[in-house]
Copies of this chain bind each other. A is one copy, B any other.
Amino acid sequence: MTRTAPFTFRLDARSGVPVYRQLIDQVQAGIASGKLASGEQIPTVRQVAVDLEINPNTVLRAYRELEIRGVLDTQQGTGTFISDRKVTQDDAEHDRQLEQLVSEFVARAGVGGFTVKELMDRLRERITEPEKRTK
């Protein structure tokens, strides 16, 4: 190939996942996998809207949410680009996500018959042996 293929989106109508969320996930996955580099332009709001036959506002919602997270930079009249800044989430949001994660963890542990103490003991091992990964 003479040049890298442009980033494109795909929709799975049967997944039940909201369109705007599918877009968000694909951008983040693209970044994580290296397909999208910092500063790179992603398809325009209108282009995506036409290709996927959806409303520009649906694309906008995805892009805006990613911009709020610091993943994208949007420039009106020009386009939308992968941000080059490192993501810095505010403390409140960080705390909220942590609380949610822990809540779900404890709940699932309860179902499995585990005690919180067991979980903590196992977690402690993770600190002393940080390189171990089972999955």
A residues with a Cβ closer than 8 A to B are 24-25, 27-34, 69-71, 86-87, 89, 94, 96-120, 122-124, 126-127, 133-135
Contact = CB atoms under 8 A, between A and B. Distances in A.
B112 A98 contact: yes
Given A34-B115, A86-B111, A103 B71 contact: no
Contacts of A123: 102, 105-106, 116, 119-120, 123
State the main secondary structure of chain A at its contact with B.
Answer: helix
A29 B106 contact: yes
A112 to B, nearest CB: 6
Given A120-B123, A122-B98, A135-B100, A86 B106 contact: no
Contact of A108 (B34, B101, B110, B126): B101
A53 to B, nearest CB: 24
Contact of A102 (B33, B115, B122): B122
Identify the 10 closest CB pairs spanning chains A and B, nearest first: A32-B110, A28-B110, A28-B107, A31-B110, A102-B122, A32-B109, A86-B113, A103-B134, A103-B135, A105-B105
